[in-house]
Amino acid sequence: MPDEAAAHYFAIIDQLIEGHQWLEKNLGGVKPRSGWAIDPFGHSPTMAYLLKRAGFSHMLIQRVHYAVKKHFALHKTLEFFWRQNWDLGSGTDIFCHMMPFYSYDIPHTCGPDPKICCQFDFKRFPGGRFGCPWGVPPETITHQNVQNRAEMLLDQYRKKSKLFRTKVVLAPLGDDFRYCERTEWDHQFKNYQMLFDYMNSQPNLNVKIQFGTLSDYFDAVDKEDTESRENSQLLFPVVSGDFFTYADRDDHYWSGYFTSRPFYKRLDRILESHIRAAEILYHFALKQAQKYDIGAFLSSSHYTALTEARRNLGLFQHHDAITGTAKDWVVVDYGIRLFHSLLSLKKIIGHAALLLILKDKRSYDLFSSDTLLD
């Protein structure tokens, strides 16, 4: 999840390209359709535009000023088509879901009462590393308590549904540093599956509930939206503009990160320019090396270094990296990655430029990398 305030659009596009190429290579052409941005500190329409241009059809956001969330919830406009200010048509529209509550963890995703929702985070059993701050821990779901617990959870789902215009409710199950252990997978899945089985077996509850992906949720919403359009009803409004500056409680504005750790923000921009310069020079030099069969031009290692630099740049767009909100030792690690990539790019630029300016291309073999850098 990149930051959407301090990050440059070049770096975000580069991150999207690198990520899509990784998916193409490693997962056989999987193409994401839904954006997931639960932790950037505010949200930019530019990000919505870039996702739309990258082939995304839907997106989800979370960190929006609490008063804005309250207003949207009151008017049932937490789901909308996000359109660019300059768009006189609807070509830039992307469907956006704004999460309604304080956070993205389980206590704040099942409904409006975190004391109840926390009881359905089965990582927080008594004796574990995490507990429920509201003082009531979760219980293992059994045949004896499943009815009571299912009705309690369903009540929260129904209350949450009152904030939206469709009959489909999204309740994410996760948090930071989760699903790292097999036991949590088992606890979450087995307990929720018992709850789901009970709800689905009771026709009087009038509910159908299942596990699903974000795209599964949006597909269900799209289906209901299509049916409404066939009846000449428009379910969702159109919204233009940004969601800055973020505040999660009274007057707690998250604006310091716009300027914090300026050295690293500057290093980010320097790396961006070097990546673009290295890519261009590498391309032309590679063509010359292939034409004149110059084996000394280390095209493979240069390509690897370029890829690593792009990935390090993409990593630094993280909402706790370029923002300057990471812990000191993490910031140092980011800095080392950026600096090493910068050195690698300078070497690529130098080697490529040398090959391009040489009148006799085959004389490139006479130059060593050490001589060139000196």
DSSP string of 10-35?
Answer: HHHHHHHHHHHHHHHHHSSS----EE
Low-confidence ranges of the chain (pLDDT < 70): 231-233, 368-374
H or E stretch covering 94: strand 94-98
Query: What pLDDT is recorded for position 151?
Result: 98
Q: Quick one: pLDDT at residue 312?
A: 98
Q: What is the pLDDT of residue 369?
A: 53
pLDDT at 295: 81
Q: Which of 104, 156, 150 is nearest to 139 (CA)?
A: 150
- Sorted by sequence, the CB contacts under 8 Å of residue 99 that are 6+ apart come out as 38, 60, 61, 62, 78, 109, 172
pTM of the model: 0.93
Is 39 known to be catalytic? Answer: yes
User: Which domains can be identified in the chain, with CATH numbers?
Assistant: 32-256 (3.20.110.10), 260-359 (1.20.1270.50)
* pLDDT score, position 234: 79
Q: Out of 39, 197, 219, 333, which one is annotated catalytic?
A: 39
Residue 33 — φ and ψ, nearest 5°?
A: -115, -20
Look at residue 166 and give its three-state secondary structure: coil
Phi-psi bin for 131: left (phi > 0), alpha (psi -120 to 50), beta? beta
State whether the Cα torsion 4-10-14-20 is positive or negative: positive
Amino acid at 252: H
